[in-house]
Structure 1
Amino acid sequence: MPFTPLHMGAGVALKAVTRNSFSLVVFGGSQIAIDIQPLVVMLTNKGELHGFSHTILGATLIGLFCGLAGKPIGELFLRLIRKPGYLPIDWRVSFGSAFIGTYSHIFIDSIMHSDVTPLSPFSTASPLYGIISIETLHVLCLAGVFVGGLAYWAVEKKCKKT
């Protein structure tokens, strides 16, 4: 299902330890952007569900776009939700967060969807498919959200005291 929040687990955990060296907003935006193509396929019944957007080449192009768009859109979003402590988003942070988002997305989807061929057009292999069970993958993603969320909360609380 497109736009699954389980993909955010890695981002939440990473944000907890990297603070302003990683943008959870840009990461989340790249998670949504990479699933636009599957959403269009689901709505139109035309095309490959996990096609070009779920390849390394596609993730790279989407990452470039999200890195460029992520800084201005992310900064606007942070202003709207009144989180000025995370401003400004550095360009390196924007691009890094976007690429971590797109590449982690195809990594996770490669494990659980047999039609994800990350090396396409050079190979139709799906080498990560089934290396762990979907249940285990979901537990790992949820653990990232909860452990990362707790760590983020603890760090935020500590930073407010100092």
Structure 2
Amino acid sequence: MGAVLIVKPSLDQRISLIAFGLAQIAMDLEPGIRMLIGADGVLHGMTHTILGALIIAAAVVLMAPPIGLLILKRWNKEATYYKQKWLVQSGVMTRISVVTGALFGTLSHVALDSLIHQDIQPLFPFSRANPMLGLLSHDTVYLLCFLAVALGLIAWVIARWRSSRTLADRMPAHDPVSVSSGFWKTWTWDLRSTWFWMLLFAATPGVLYGASLFAILALVAALLLHVPRSRSRISNKGGSAKENLKRLSIAVLIPTVTLAYVFTVDKQIPKYAMPIVKAIESFRAEEGHYPPTLEALRPGYLVKVPSVRATVFQPQIRYRVTDGKPYLAIPSAYGDAFAAHEYDFSANAWVHYQ
């Protein structure tokens, strides 16, 4: 937070601390998930590029206002209750503050991490070079961030104490934070139920398990439920045709993006599973037979079973030896319920059965 606190006193209402904080959380989701699943090597992938940062910033711009307004409401209520009116904030998140906070949050994150992490390629896909790596040491970067937090926080407190008391005095004791009308309200707050259910039933299974079934069902349900309503000009309990069209857009977008992610991840399974194949072949070359189980490969041939899918929970790898012939298969999200990536040891190739 040091990067934003050092500029907050001068930019004030033109940059949102909440949007900046949400951007930091969003940026660290990928390395966090990779650490949870035990991914080796690269922790900072596409999200830690300039292009990825811009995409994440756009998502934060959409999601920050409804979340931020709830936080502001609670903050102002607590500040008023404890009679600290100088801490009361404006109840409106302006578009410029959200955009500035989101962009500054994601781009500064990439810049700072590029200084100290070797696996970051900030210019990808245009270049794999990292011209910023090593310009400052790891300890220096953290020291500068700490100093920025301390100095920025002091400057912000002083600025708030001197300039915000008038705003606090004008605000009623229990003034609810208003959700301003416009783009943010109509596309986020008014449609929050659609966002919630689509993210829960379509995106969450895809990110956690690499499952495509729920996203497909959500997409089909969206088309069946919302298309007829969107074509109608008559308002009903579900809202006007215009509102239904917005809900349809969200209900189609989230499952579609989820399916694109799941299928892309699924295609990488053979690549990530190759260390298992090599370990099995090495075992056979030295022992004269295939290992009875994957556990027999540890630790001499395989330190640990690698993560084969970029999801939080890994699929169950099926391996057995029957009549001296090995069988290695990994469930696939692309195809029916019995789809799998199977390795043909005689042909030395992966086969995708759908």
For 1:122, the equivalent position in structure 2 comes to 126
Q: 2:72 aligns with which of 44, 56, 78?
A: 78
Aligned: 1:43 with 2:47? no
Q: Report the structure, 1 or 2, having the larger strand content.
A: 2
Question: SS state of the match for residue 131, structure 2?
Answer: coil
Aligned to 2:2, which of 6, 9, 21?
9
Relative to structure 2, which stretch is displaced further, 32-41 or 91-100? Answer: 91-100
- Unpaired runs of 5+ residues, structure 2, are 77-86, 167-354
Larger Rg: 1 or 2?
Answer: 2
Equivalent pair of 1:67/1:96 in contact (CA under 8 Å): no
In 1, Cα distance between the equivalents of 2:151 and 2:142? 14
Q: Return the offset for 1:46.
A: 3.4
> 1:139-159, CA deviations, whole angstroms, 9 ceiling, x for partnerless residues?
111111011001001111112
Matches of residues 9-158 of structure 1 in structure 2 within 5 Å?
9-46=2-39, 48-82=42-76, 85-158=89-162
Q: Is the 8 A contact 1:68 1:95 kept in 2?
A: no
Give unmatched runs, 5+ long, in structure 1.
1-7
Secondary structure class of the residue paired with 1:88: coil
Q: Please, which moves more after superposition, 9-18 or 30-39? A: 9-18
Which residue matches 1:4?
none
Aligned residues: 155
The 2-side partners of 1:111 and 1:81 are apart by 35
Secondary structure of the 2:120 match is coil
TM-score by length of 2: 0.42
Q: Which has the bigger relative contact order, CA under 8 A and spacing at least 6?
A: 1
> Runs of at least 4 residues of structure 1 off by over 3 A?
none
Residue by residue, what CA displacement relative to the aligned partner does 1:79-129 show, whole Å, maximum 9, x if unpaired?
112265232011121111101000000000000101110011121111100
Q: Identical aligned pairs, as a percentage?
A: 36
Tell me which protein shows more helix as a share of its residues. 1
For residues 144 and 35 of structure 2, the distance between their equivalents in structure 1, rounded to whole angstroms, comes to 27
Question: Given that residues 55 and 117 in structure 1 are in contact (C-alpha distance below 8 angstroms), is that contact kept between their aligned partners in structure 2?
Answer: yes
TM-score normalised by L of structure 1: 0.90
